[in-house]
């Protein structure tokens, strides 16, 4: 049975991010990349945030995924979260990630934002990526 496209993509994203030496230098080793951030987690960190998936019109077995990656930092300014978002973009822009049961067609950043959140010492950087995948069975057909 083919792995769900959204889960295959999340798994590939996690592997790509945690396996990147430059990102580990910024986040610590192992790289602090979470689906759900644990209490008392060290900073900086990346959270794999909201995910939207829908069939990709015109491609049988194709899916469009919009995924938010959020960086949380206590650096005291934008320097640290900006460095992390730049590295995330370098890893994922036009990436050809290996997905179980699916093929990556496109990976594009569509949005970036940096802001101070309500907690007084936390800066946040957010990236939104658009990924297009297709199931391997559709590719083989």
Helix ranges, the chain (H)? 5-18, 21-27, 79-92, 136-140
Give residue limits of the domains in the chain.
Answer: 5-140
Q: What is the pLDDT of residues 94-139, one digit of tens each?
A: 999 999 999 999 999 999 999 988 777 899 999 999 999 999 876 6
Cα angle, residue 25 at apex, residues 23 and 26 outer, rounded to 5°? 65
Contact in structure between 13 and 49 (CB atoms under 8 Å): no
Q: Please name the fold of domain 5-140.
A: STM4215-like (3.30.2000)
pLDDT tens for 8-65 read 999 999 999 999 999 999 999 999 999 999 999 999 999 999 999 999 988 889 999 9
Q: How many residues does the chain have?
A: 141
Distance CA 111, CA 43 (A): 23
Measure the CA–CA gap between 87 and 95, rounded to whole angstroms: 13
Q: What is the pLDDT of residue 137?
A: 77
The span from the CA of 68 to the CA of 51, in Å, is 7
């Amino acid at each position: 049975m083919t792995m769900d496209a959204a889960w295959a993509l999340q798994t590939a994203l996690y592997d790509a991010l945690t396996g990147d030496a430059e990102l580990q230098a910024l986040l610590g080793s192992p790289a602090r990349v979470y689906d759900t951030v644990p209490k008392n987690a060290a900073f900086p960190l990346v959270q794999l945030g909201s995910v939207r998936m829908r069939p990709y019109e015109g491609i049988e077995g194709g899916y469009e995924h919009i995924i938010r990656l959020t960086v949380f930092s206590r650096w005291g300014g934008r320097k640290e979260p900006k460095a992390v978002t730049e590295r995330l973009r370098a890893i994922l822009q036009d990436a050809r990630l290996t997905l179980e049961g699916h093929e990556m067609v496109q990976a594009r950043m569509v949005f970036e934002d940096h802001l101070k959140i309500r907690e007084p010492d936390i800066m946040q950087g957010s990236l939104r990526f658009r990924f297009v995948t297709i199931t391997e069975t559709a590719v083989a057909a």
